[in-house]
């Protein structure tokens, strides 16, 4: 059963949104750990890592870009492979139908050949009667 178009898009958007939120959280945590390590190696007072700092941190954007883009690419690859698989299955069904039709036609040809053999045999018998 085909999904309704809007439902399909809603599900796709939901998956993308959840993935993006997860990727943002992951990026924030990675950037925070990097910041904490940098703070430990330097002397002085440093403010706690916060959202404002994360928005300006290149590490956050690098993780988001690398992670989220990879998710999208793998999603596209998965979709293309599933579409190709469905096409392959559909083509296989068509091939099976054609093979079945071909077998039927081959049977019909065999029957016609047998009928030709029978007619030739009858002709030979009639010729033999005619010559005797």
Burial status of residue 60 (CB atoms within 10 A of its CB: 0-12, 13-18, 19 or more): buried
For residue range 22-72, list pLDDT tens digits in order: 899 999 999 999 999 988 888 888 888 889 999 999 989 998 888 888 888
For residue range 84-95, list pLDDT tens digits in order: 888 777 777 888
pTM of the shown model: 0.54
Distance in angstroms (rounded) separating the CA atoms of residues 57 and 28:
9
Q: What pLDDT shows up at residue 105?
A: 93
Q: What pLDDT shows up at residue 2?
A: 55
């Amino acid at each position: 059963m085909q999904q309704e178009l809007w439902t399909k898009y809603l599900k796709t958007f939901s998956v993308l949104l959840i993935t993006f939120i997860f990727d943002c959280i992951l990026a924030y945590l990675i950037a925070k750990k990097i910041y904490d390590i940098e703070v430990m190696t330097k002397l002085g007072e440093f403010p706690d890592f916060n959202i404002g700092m994360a928005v300006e941190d290149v590490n956050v954007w690098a993780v988001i870009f690398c992670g989220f883009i990879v998710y999208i690419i793998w999603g596209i690859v998965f979709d293309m492979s599933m579409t190709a698989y469905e096409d392959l299955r559909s083509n296989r069904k068509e091939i099976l139908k054609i093979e079945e039709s071909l077998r039927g036609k081959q049977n019909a040809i065999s029957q016609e050949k047998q009928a030709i053999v029978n007619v030739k045999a009858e002709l030979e018998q009639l010729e033999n009667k005619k010559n005797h």
